[in-house]
Structure 1
């Protein structure tokens, strides 16, 4: 299997971040974990455009890219399968401010349905809160500490 190029985006709201909640087998066991919304960058597609497309496809929302948070390299193993993702991570915001009032979003992807919820930043600091890719928590901390973006 070859590495895949992905784009993920986090949206912030009053001390929380919007993350997809999944409950299945993962590299640290089986159970609940979180991941920013987004997905695979298609050939010829810019990462920001892919992120906008993924949000529209997954939760029906239009977003704006606020800033680039960094590149993450996620190498993981589930069962006997190794995965390798090169991820471009962004901070984003909803174009429609009413979406910030929603408590959860139904995430629809081929072959699975999950939800995205507002996860309190305090909860993310807890070691029992599993977020993938693993460097996501650190990138969020850096962003919030600096509020300094590279476009």
Structure 2
């Protein structure tokens, strides 16, 4: 299996970030874990285009990409299989600002239905959050956001 390139969007609302909640087997065991909205970059597609597409497909919402937060690389094992992801991260914002008033969103990807909800950045240290290294990145960006207020 080859490394997978994906892109994830970070949406802030005050001290909270929008994350998808999943319950499944993962690299740290089995149970609930959280991750930002996004997905695989298709061949010939730019990462920002993929991110806008993923939000449209999974949440049926439009986002604007604001800025790059960097890149995380993860090598992990689930059910004895090695996975390798190279993840490009961006801050994004809803085009329709009324969407910030929603507490949660139903996400659909094929037959899979999950929920995305606002999570307090300070509470994430107690949760399983992927990709690895994301919590530290979110804390830095959250601090920058708070300096602007």
Q: TM-score scaled to structure 2, two decimals?
A: 0.94
Structure 1: gaps (5+ residues): none
Secondary structure of 2:128's counterpart equals coil
Give the equivalent residue in structure 2 for 1:70. 70
Cα separation, 1, equivalents of 2:97 and 2:15: 16
Give the equivalent residue in structure 2 for 1:46. 46
Structure 2: gaps (5+ residues): none
Secondary structure of 1:142's counterpart equals helix
Superposed CA offset, 1:78-107 (max 9, x none) = 111111011000111100011001111111
Shift of 1:145: 2.8
- Superposed CA RMSD: 1.0
1:89 aligns with 2:89: yes
Cα separation, 2, equivalents of 1:2 and 1:125: 30
Cα separation, 2, equivalents of 1:75 and 1:143: 24
Number of corresponding residues: 145
Cα separation, 1, equivalents of 2:4 and 2:130: 15
Structure 1 runs (4+) greater than 6 angstroms displaced: none
Give the equivalent residue in structure 1 for 2:10. 10
Superposed CA offset, 1:105-136 (max 9, x none) = 1110023111100011121133xx11000111
Give the equivalent residue in structure 2 for 1:23. 23
Secondary structure of 2:11's counterpart equals strand
Cα separation, 1, equivalents of 2:112 and 2:87: 21
Cα separation, 2, equivalents of 1:144 and 1:106: 25
Shift of 1:14: 1.5
Superposed CA offset, 1:10-31 (max 9, x none) = 1000110000000011011110
Shift of 1:35: 0.4
